[in-house]
Structure 1
Amino acid sequence: MSKINYSTEQRNSLLSFLSENPDKMFSAKQVELALSGKEISKSAIYRNLAELESEGKIKRCSKPGSRESFYQFFDCNSCRTHIHLSCQKCGKIFHLDEAAAENLVTALEKNTGFEVSRGESTLVGICKSCGEKK
Structure 2
Amino acid sequence: MPYTTKQRQAILRCLERRGDASVTAGELAEDLRVEGFPVGLATIYRQLERLEAAGVVHKVNTEDGAFYQYCGRDDHDHRDCFLLKCERCGRIRHVDCTQLQALYDHLEREHHFRINPRGTLLSGVCDQCAKEEEQRGKQ
TM-score (norm 1): 0.70
2-structure distance, mates of 1:117, 1:22: 22
Q: Secondary structure at the match of 1:98?
A: coil
Which of these residues, 11, 16, 22, is aligned with residue 14 of structure 1?
11
Residues 36-68 of structure 1: CA distance to partner in whole angstroms, max 9, x if unpaired?
A: 3222223332332233234433232212x32x1
Equivalent in the alignment of 1:42? 40
Deviation, structure 1 residue 27: 0.8
Equivalent in the alignment of 1:95? 95
Consecutive unaligned residues of structure 2, counting only runs of 5 or more, are: 134-139
Amino acid at match of 1:7: T
- Cα distance change, pair 133–94 in 1 and its aligned pair in 2 (3 A): farther
Equivalent in the alignment of 2:55? 56
Which of these residues, 8, 21, 25, is aligned with residue 22 of structure 2?
25
TM-score (norm 2): 0.69
- Cα distance change, pair 125–36 in 1 and its aligned pair in 2 (3 A): farther
Q: How many residues align?
A: 127
- Over the matched positions of the two proteins, sequence identity in percent amounts to 21
Cα contact 2:78–2:118 (8 A) shared by 1: yes
Consecutive unaligned residues of structure 1, counting only runs of 5 or more, are: none
Amino acid at match of 1:34: D
